[in-house]
Amino acid sequence: GENVGLHLPTLSVQEGDNSIINCAYSNSASDYFIWYKQESGKGPQFIIDIRSNMDKRQGQRVTVLLNKTVKHLSLQIAATQPGDSAVYFCAENRGRNYQLIWGAGTKLIIKP
Amino acid sequence: DGGITQSPKYLFRKEGQNVTLSCEQNLNHDAMYWYRQDPGQGLRLIYYSQIVNDFQKGDIAEGYSVSREKKESFPLTVTSAQKNPTAFYLCASSPYPNSGNTIYFGEGSWLTVV
């Protein structure tokens, strides 16, 4: 798997600032993308998703941007709070195999 | 409440023993999945099932076995053939195994070899 043996990159952000977490995907045929949040010792929770016919989608305090030209996905979290501390995973669906392909994850640390 | 229930939350296994992790969902989802997560790393797919009485190997199936006799249940057995089973195991489900479906996770089970 793509994420085997990798240790998580870390992003440190000041409380109240905006966070931007990035993810690159490799397959231009992927048509569905999801961001998950995983708190320590828990299962991942769905945050937001986007389909390949969209460039941007907004949720509550979160925005996902999709750039198909460079195969890049980002998650923006506005006014970061201590409760946002977690590992964030992107996942892509390549359609045919009915499975999600997971990114390596990014650990978000909030500085007080 | 609807959801995915994994049990036990913590499990200790002696070397050479088989252990079974339970996963039950009452979401009426067709597809179910088992992932393994090692500390500080991402998710790796062990097995998945798209429908009752059918399952497929994922990326790291060696040393594991599953069954899908009921729609609601997808137990994972970690066999003695799995040489390094200490990890966090996550069960998940999705409504149907087609493109564009979000999958939902249980709370995970910690397995430690002693």
**pLDDT at residue B41 in the model:** 84
Angle at B2 between CA A49 and CA A86, to 5 degrees: 45
Q: Mean pLDDT, to the nearest integer, of B59-66? A: 96
Residue-wise pLDDT tens digits, A8-63: 789 999 999 999 999 998 888 888 899 999 999 899 999 999 999 999 999 999 99
Judged by a CB distance cut-off of 8 A, whether residue B103 touches chain A is yes
Query: E strands, chain A, where?
Result: 10-14, 19-24, 32-38, 45-51, 56-58, 62-67, 72-77, 86-93, 100-102, 106-111
Is A105's CB within 8 Å of B41's CB? yes
**pLDDT at residue A5 in the model:** 40
Place of tokens 């070397």: B15
* Cα gap A109→A28, rounded to integer Å: 31
Of A3, A43, A95, Cβ closest to residue B106: A43
* Cα gap A17→B45, rounded to integer Å: 35
| Alpha-carbon gap: B113 to the closest alpha carbon of chain A (Å) | 18
**pLDDT at residue B98 in the model:** 57
pLDDT above 60 for A3: no
Q: Which residue of B has its CA nearest to A102?
A: B43
* Cα gap B104→A43, rounded to integer Å: 9
Report whether B2 contacts B27 (CB < 8 A): yes
CB-defined contacts A:B, below 8 A: 72
Best mutation target among A23, A92, A100 (most B Cβ atoms within 10 Å) is A100
Give chain A's radius of gyration (CA, Å).
14
**pLDDT at residue A30 in the model:** 86
**pLDDT at residue B48 in the model:** 93
| Alpha-carbon gap: A69 to the closest alpha carbon of chain B (Å) | 20
* Cα gap B80→B27, rounded to integer Å: 32
Q: Which residue of B has its CA nearest to A90?
A: B42
Q: Mean pLDDT, to the nearest integer, of B80-99? A: 86
Which of B30, B96, B17, B101 is closest to B68 using CA atoms?
B30
Judged by a CB distance cut-off of 8 A, whether residue A57 touches chain B is no
pLDDT above 60 for B99: no
What is the pLDDT of chain A when averaged over all its residues?
88
Q: Mean pLDDT, to the nearest integer, of B3-18? A: 93
